[in-house]
Amino acid sequence: MEKCKVVVLGICLSSFMTTVPVMAQFNLKKAVSGAAKMTKAITVTDEQMAEYVKEYIDWMDKHNQVCPDDNEYSIRLKKLTEGLDDADGIPLNFKVYYVTDVNAFACADGSVRVFSSLMDIMSDEELLGVIGHEIGHVAHRDSKKGFRTAMMTSALRDGLSSQGGKITKLTDSQLGDLTEALVNAKHSRTQECDADDYGYEFLKKAGKNPWSMALSFKRLKELQEQSAKGGGNKLNQLFSTHPDLDMRIKRMEERAINDGIEKPVDSPSKEK
């Protein structure tokens, strides 16, 4: 089975940023031109938002190569995430995209998607840390807020609205606009640290070793350094925009040490 690049709206892309695949550079003028229509975002209820999120993740799953249950990547991820069923009332579901891009993302509905190429270069502990952090954004509703903001500044600017109590289906063009807005969305430093803290406690309560948080950040730092030295294009914007990795590594290490948790035996990443 040959890996493809992430597909968005029928286009094969070379990298994956933030929570969704890279589209063309965000067109600010286009967003501003629709400012008068942004008020329609206020009419979108939580129930309608949930339907839009479901429509979005269903589209992503349909247009990207999802590993079947008996695939080695799926088997590994299922074993790794055993017991990670719920994040503050949000049911979680996990799938692997068999793609060349290096990333992972989580949607507001609890859908977590891990890319096979990320699994190729991370140990189980490192992957758990990434997953824990992304789930933290879901649990704290950062993903939901980001999706709503993206709707306000992208799809809704084209007049998307609820008519007669019925949800208007997203067109391919609106999905593209939504993707652009999500690509450009960034979490604040506070949101990032809060997601770290949630991920730590989430893994700990699920019987996983929360040292994974620190180990994942160390791996991301290594990828940053490799990228800076021209050692390949493994680092994308999702990872490069994570702030203050040294500080976050220290916070997670100190927390694990203070909790008296034993650091896992070194399990080297797939590629170092």
**Positions marked active-site:** 134
> Both tokens of residue 235?
């680092």
Task: Answer for the pair 155, 177: CB distance below 8 angstroms, yes or no.
Answer: yes
End-to-end CA distance of the chain: give it in Å, rounded.
25
Q: How many CB atoms lie within 10 A of CB 55?
A: 14
> Both tokens of residue 199?
């991920």
Question: What residue spans of 2-45 are helical by DSSP H?
Answer: 28-33
Q: What angle do CA 226, 119, 145 make, to 5 degrees?
A: 90
Backbone angles phi, psi at 31, to 5 degrees: -70, -45
Measured CA distances, 104 to 2, 13, 20, 81, 215 (Å) = 19, 15, 9, 14, 16
Task: Answer for the pair 73, 98: CB distance below 8 angstroms, yes or no.
Answer: yes
